[in-house]
Amino acid sequence: MSFKPKKIWTIAWKDFRTYFTSPIAYIIIAGFLIIMGWMFFFNLSHFNMQALQYKQMGMGKSMSITEGIIRPLYGNMNVIFLFLVPFITMRLFAEERKQQTIQLLMTSPISIAEMVVGKFFSAFFLVFTMLMLTVVYPIILWIFGNPDYGPILTSYMGTLMLSSCYVAAGVFFSSMTENQIVAGALTFAAGLFFWLINWASQSAGPVFSDILDYMSLIQHYNNFSQGIIDTTDIVFYLSFVFVSLFLSHRVLDSYRWR
């Protein structure tokens, strides 16, 4: 089986560019930035007001910037990605199947693994681009204040990994159907499921609750949001991506056998 970076790049770059040939990508990016901007300034002014109150009342130091701004901001960003990523990934394979352009890919000297990973990266690059556009917020904080770098960097890392999981799930559901809407809806449902899976852990038995906690996508984000990098979390996210992509590989392989 072949697995050449050049082939992956060819597919990833073509699909990444395709995002910008339709207004949908611009709408997603604009919506994302507007919501994020609104949240940032809301958090910021709320934080400032609180800080002012604390000072006037002589109650000592208020929350840190990390606690008051960074954590809620990137926490919210993760929720927004849960909603937006399905729109980004739904077309990836579903559209190729519907338009039968998948025949071009399937009769080119590329492996299904290269196809799947290429598609993954095309959506990943878009998410990455969106994430990079939000770097202005930490820069603003840095100009006017004195935030901790650690949690900011790890929040980005965690958000990128968490969104990668959504993207990989999106690739999988897109490979399953010709219908983009179905692919998007399933991606959202799966994302939500793995997000909320540990809600049941309170009432579950000790072993089972550990398993549920481990399976939860958001549980593994907590450390990142506090500036902690734990290999367990990284391993979990990477495994989630790997398994999703592996399943898309199986689906596409069997697609040819019908």
Query: Which positions touch other proteins (CB under 8 A)?
Result: 2, 7, 10-11, 14, 18, 21-22, 99-111, 256-258
Residue 98 C-beta: closest distance to other proteins, Å: 11
Nearer to other proteins, 105 or 234 (CB): 105
Q: Residue 10 or residue 209: which is nearer to other proteins going by CB? A: 10
Q: Measured between alpha carbons, how far is 84 from 33 in angstroms, rounded to an integer?
A: 12
CB of 110 to other proteins, least distance (A): 6
The least distance separating other proteins from the CB of residue 125, rounded to whole angstroms, comes to 17
Nearer to other proteins, 12 or 39 (CB): 12
C-beta of 19 vs 236, nearer to other proteins: 19
Minimum Å distance from CB 38 to other proteins?
A: 31
Task: Supply the Cα-derived Rg of the chain in whole angstroms.
Answer: 20
Asked if 228 contacts 155 with a C-beta cutoff of 8 angstroms, the reply is: no
In b/e form, how buried is each residue of 46-56, taking b as 16+ CB within 10 angstroms?
ebeeeeeeeee
Could you give the dihedral angle defined by the CA atoms of residues 66, 68, 69 and 72, in that order, rounded to the nearest 10 degrees? 100
CB 111 within 8 A of CB 189: no
Q: How far is the CB of 89 from other proteins (least distance, A)?
A: 17
Closer of 69 and 113 to other proteins (Cβ): 113
